[in-house]
Amino acid sequence: MIKKSFCKNEVSLLGMGNMRLPVGADGKIDFEGAAAIIDRLYNNGVNYYDTAYVYHGGESESFVGAALKNYPRESFCVATKYNCRANPDYEAVFNEQLKRLDMDYIDYYLLHAIGDSTVDTYLTNGCVEFFREQKRLGKIKHLGFSFHASLDTLRKMIDFGGWDFAQIQLNYLDWLLNDAKAQYEMLTEAGIPIVVMEPVRGGRLAKLTPETEAELKAAHFDWSIPSWAFRFIMRLENVKVILSGMSTVEQADDNLATFIGGKPLSDDEAELLLKVCAEFKKQISAPCTACRYCTEGCPMEIDIPEMMEIYNRYKLNGRGAAKAIEKHEHSAKDCIACGACSEQCPQSIDIPAIMAELAEAAGSN
Ligand code: SF4
Ligand code: SF4
C-alpha cells in the first residue's frame, strides 16, 4: 500500500469514504456487507476512514466506530465533519459524533462542504473557535474543511488561516473542465495538504463510452477504468489521501490492486487520458456525483440522483425517458420546482430545470 506523510501521520494514499455503503432492503446499512469491506481494506494497509454527521442519515458514523472496534485505535485515522445546515449546534453535533463513533478523539475533523452560500456562516458562527479549542484539548488532532465552491471562496478560507488540511473534489474531468487544477495549485502554494474526494466523480469515471474504454484498454489492457482516474491523481505530490466510496468488496479489491504497487500515469498516459476525457465530456449533461445531499429536503421524495442518471442517458440517446421514469413512484413529473435541492447541490446543478425538461421529455417519448 502506498503511504504518505500527512500531518505527521503515515497514512494510506487510498482512503475509505463511508457515504456509499451497501444497504439492505430497508435502506439501512448492511452491517455485515459493509464491515467486510472495512476488514478487507484494513488488512491490506488502508488506515484512513472518512465519514460525516449526515452520511446514511447519521448511521455512517456509528457504523465506522463499530466496524473499526476490532482494531487498535492508534492503528487507523478517522475523519468526520460538522455540517452547519444539518444542525447548526456545533457543540451538540461534536459530542454526538464522539458518542456515535465511540471514540475519545477524531484524527481529522472538517467543516463540511464549504460553499459560496455557507462560508460566512462557518467562519462567523463560533464553530471554528470551538473546534480549535477541541484541538487544544486533544479531542481533534487536525482541523480542516471540505470544499465545493468558487476560487474566491477558497481564497477567503486560505486567508482566514489555521487549517491543517483541505478536502477538494479532484478528478481528471474536473481538472480539465472545472476549477480542480486551480484549487490544487492555490492550496499547494499555501502549504495546505490535500485530501481528494470524488476521484471517479461518483462512479461516472468508472464506466466510459465503449470507444473511450477501448482507447484506454489498448494502452493498458490489464488496468481497470477507475484505475486510470486514481493513477492520474497519484501524479500530484500534495495529495495525501484519495478517498473512494467503496460499496462492494470487489471494488475494494480493484482499488487495492491499483494502490498496492501501482504507479502514477506517465506524461504520455496522462495526455492520452485528458484527450479521451475531452470526448467523454460531450456525453455528460448533468454532472451529478450521486452524493445525495439534495434528497433529504425534497418534499416530493424524488430520487434526484436517479433522475439525473436518467436525464444523462436521455440526453445521450434522445429517448427512453418515459420508460425509465415510470419505474419510480416519485419522479421528475412530481417536481414542484421549490428549489430546496439546488441549494444543497455542491455541483451547482439547476435541478428544477432538469426535472422540468425530463418531465416534458417523458411526456413526449
Ligand atoms: S425542486 Fe423538485 S426535485 Fe428539487 S426539492 Fe423541490 S420538488 Fe424536489
Ligand atoms: S443532484 Fe447534486 S446534490 Fe443531488 S446527488 Fe447529484 S450532485 Fe449530489
- The overall average pLDDT reported for the chain is 93
- The Cα–Cα gap between 213 and 209 comes to 6
The helix (H) or strand (E) run that includes residue 253 is helix 249-259
pLDDT at 298 over 70: yes
Question: Domain extents for the chain?
Answer: 3-281, 304-364
| Mean pLDDT across 8-34 | 96
> Quick check: 56 and 63 in contact, CB under 8 A?
yes
Most ligand 1 atoms within 8 A of CB, residue of 288, 310, 338 to mutate: 338
Report whether residue 312 contacts ligand 2, using a CB cutoff of 6 Å.
no
* CB-CB neighbours of 5 under 10 Å: 10
C-alpha distances (whole Å) from 329 to each of 281, 303, 341 are 31, 9, 18
- How much is the pTM? 0.82
Tell me the three state secondary structure of residue 122.
helix
What is the per-residue pLDDT for 315? 76
Supply 79's cell numbers.
475523519
When pLDDT is cut at 50, 70 and 90, the band that residue 281 belongs to is confident
The string of pLDDT tens digits covering residues 139-174 is: 999 999 999 999 999 999 999 999 999 999 999 988
Ligand found nearest the CA of 333: 1
Report whether residue 205 contacts ligand 1, using a CB cutoff of 6 Å.
no
| Mean pLDDT across 345-355 | 91
pLDDT at 109 over 60: yes
Ligand found nearest the CA of 204: 2
| Minimum mean pLDDT range among 174-178, 193-197, 320-324 | 320-324
When pLDDT is cut at 50, 70 and 90, the band that residue 324 belongs to is confident
What is the per-residue pLDDT for 211? 84
Region of 63 (left: φ > 0; alpha: ψ -120 to 50; beta: rest) is alpha
When pLDDT is cut at 50, 70 and 90, the band that residue 191 belongs to is very high
| Mean pLDDT across 16-39 | 96
CATH architecture of residue range(s) 3-281: Alpha-Beta Barrel (3.20)
Report whether residue 337 contacts ligand 1, using a CB cutoff of 6 Å.
yes
What is the per-residue pLDDT for 317? 61
What is the per-residue pLDDT for 365? 53
| Mean pLDDT across 280-306 | 87
Q: Which residues contact 16 (CB under 8 A, 6 or more apart)?
A: 37, 38, 41, 46, 48, 49, 50, 243, 244, 246
Q: Which residues contact 44 (CB under 8 A, 6 or more apart)?
A: 1, 256, 260
Report whether residue 307 contacts ligand 1, using a CB cutoff of 6 Å.
no
The string of pLDDT tens digits covering residues 197-238 is: 999 988 878 888 888 899 999 999 999 999 999 999 999 999
pLDDT at 135 over 90: yes
Q: Can you spell out the DSSP letters for 285-347?
A: SS------TTTTT-TT---HHHHHHHHHHHHHHS--HHHHHHT-SS-GGG-----HHHHH-TT
What is the per-residue pLDDT for 158? 98
Report whether residue 288 contacts ligand 2, using a CB cutoff of 6 Å.
yes
Report whether residue 298 contacts ligand 1, using a CB cutoff of 6 Å.
yes
What is the per-residue pLDDT for 2? 96
**Ligand 2 center from residue 165 Cα (angstroms):** 24
Per DSSP bridges, beta strands 9-12 and 3-6 are antiparallel
